[in-house]
A and B are shown apart, each in its own frame.
Chain A
């Protein structure tokens, strides 16, 4: 079971189903969680939920694709709480699109949300964590980074997480700062029909879709004090579907 008690955790893009599950889980295990997202109403709703369950949480509206906002947010958090121990980069907009339909604007939006946001948060927090001699950074990736037809724009930005994770892990290894990626597979969402779920489950070795909680407890594992010797890794939560892909390296 993860050890995150009294740690300060920032979760970016905290208000989708996976982000909410991660924030709730970390708070349940005793971390102080700062949930950040671009939609103030959703931030408030999630905060209320966590606080109602006696979790410690604060909220902040941040456009993660804007470096000035990220910088100000991180600076304020450190000023108010003294430190940040855990960063979960969960900003994730699914926009896999056949290449002929990827407009410049769509490409830039994917870069901004899925990659730039991760970079901006890491740029602010890696030096802070290294100076503190403690940190756990977890970026949420996606199995689709391995490359699926019609999703080249999404695969491209999610692939970048792979290299970013490895480079930052090596940069920070001596300072008890670990950097890992949790790549999710097919996660059931509330708007899916039972037929759609059943159909998708057939393509997964364990014959079921994942839940946001499956991702959240894995993030908890990597965020734990006890996972200090795990860094630079990309780890799939996918029911074994990754075994159908080959890295060919």
Chain B
């Protein structure tokens, strides 16, 4: 089993796992939003999980490197923190922060990261850009809240893994990118009634069952 040195501490990890997973397994927290262990090819889209590795010139996303024996890693350098804080601020600038009315309140990954990085949930200095649609009700059982979604892609991944195909997909592009179940209303009623994988995996409160909460 590979032995690594992370923040001055010796750790042992599984063979062939990602650095991010190896650290998490050893109770070393690295902020992350878009990674799941079952992903073959992590999209590394949230830009949260940066670390510095000895021998590498620049900070690197820990979900895209595999552990190696004798790796020396730092998870809390100034450069790493700056990248993470910027990524978080950008996410929050397109986020409708209203935790009181959000089912994810207190178990939300975004709240956790903000606390960890000591960034307020309403940081100043960036213009706020919200989607027009507050609630997308197209799906027969599940409501989607684009302004809470961090576009991590976990719902798409988990649905595909469970059912071979995903009801959810990324649609549009750039600032307008959203998660959508377009046209799957009929098909999804077959599986979605019995499955809650996407609602459970969502790190924020962007997917909710219709009967649980309709407001907010």
Do chains A and B interact in one complex?
Answer: no
